[in-house]
A and B are shown apart, each in its own frame.
Chain A
Amino acid sequence: DAKTTQPTSMDCAEGRAANLPCNHSTISGNEYVYWYRQIHSQGPQYIIHGLKNNETNEMASLIITEDRKSSTLILPHATLRDTAVYYCIVEGSSNTGKLIFGQGTTLQVKP
């Protein structure tokens, strides 16, 4: 079973920041938080990951709470092409890197 809970769906206006929350209250100390997204009819795409510190790359920012029980993915200026299912995944305990996907959040970016 997935170790994360996410809202089923969210809307965001084009050009605004999209903030996608994720709860992972049972995360253990050596587990990472990953975010992937899946645009319709494509394979999943890696976005970002982190352990304890906040992370930023060219696609997004990841804010992890101090107790690590939740995190937020931020797309700073959402575009229509960001419409996708966003998956928050906690992994690291298996030492294999295999990902356990939940149902994710369907983000709809609207003009």
Chain B
Amino acid sequence: GAGVSQSPSNKVTEKGKDVELRCDPISGHTALYWYRQSLGQGLEFLIYFQGNSAPDKSGLPSDRFSAERTGGSVSTLTIQRTQQEDSAVYLCASSPDGSEADTQYFGPGTRLTVL
């Protein structure tokens, strides 16, 4: 079946611009995660959505970052007033129910370059 998809695959933007990154999780998965991976760095947790519960935003690096998940499915990660340090690969993952023993399925990522 279809896996997690993300768009765009690549995004180049100018410093100070806003960007929106999209994630389509696997159908039926109630949990959705955003991570980012900077050049040469490990993966860093950003935010977690589970059903209708309030999202866990503990990993968001600043208030320029926000995310929403509409209708319990598609999610959008928005970065306002982008900075060069925001350049990274942004990865989305989904899992069936978000429990601690759940398998996460990752998308291919969006490579963001801020000039």
Chain A positions near chain B (C-beta within 8 angstroms): 2, 30-32, 36, 38, 42-46, 49, 51, 87, 91-104
Contacts and interface: CB of A to CB of B under 8 A. Distances in A.
Interface string B54-97: 00100100000000000000000000000000000001010100
B52 interface: no
A94 B100 contact: yes
A43 B108 CA distance: 5
B100 A91 contact: yes
A103 B43 CA distance: 8
B108 A99 contact: no
A44 B100 contact: no
Given A96-B50, A97-B31, A97-B98, A49 B42 contact: no
A43 B100 contact: no
A32 B37 CA distance: 23
Contacts of A102: 42
Interface residues of B, number: 27
Contact of B48 (A49, A87, A98, A103): A98
25 contacts: A2-B42, A32-B100, A32-B101, A38-B43, A42-B108, A43-B4, A43-B93, A43-B106, A43-B107, A43-B109, A44-B93, A45-B106, A46-B104, A49-B101, A87-B42, A96-B48, A97-B31, A97-B33, A97-B95, A97-B99, A99-B35, A99-B45, A101-B43, A101-B44, A102-B42
A64 B65 CA distance: 38
A28 B49 CA distance: 25
B45 A98 contact: yes
Nearest to B59: A98
A27 B34 CA distance: 25
B27 interface: no
Contacts of B101: 32, 49, 51, 92
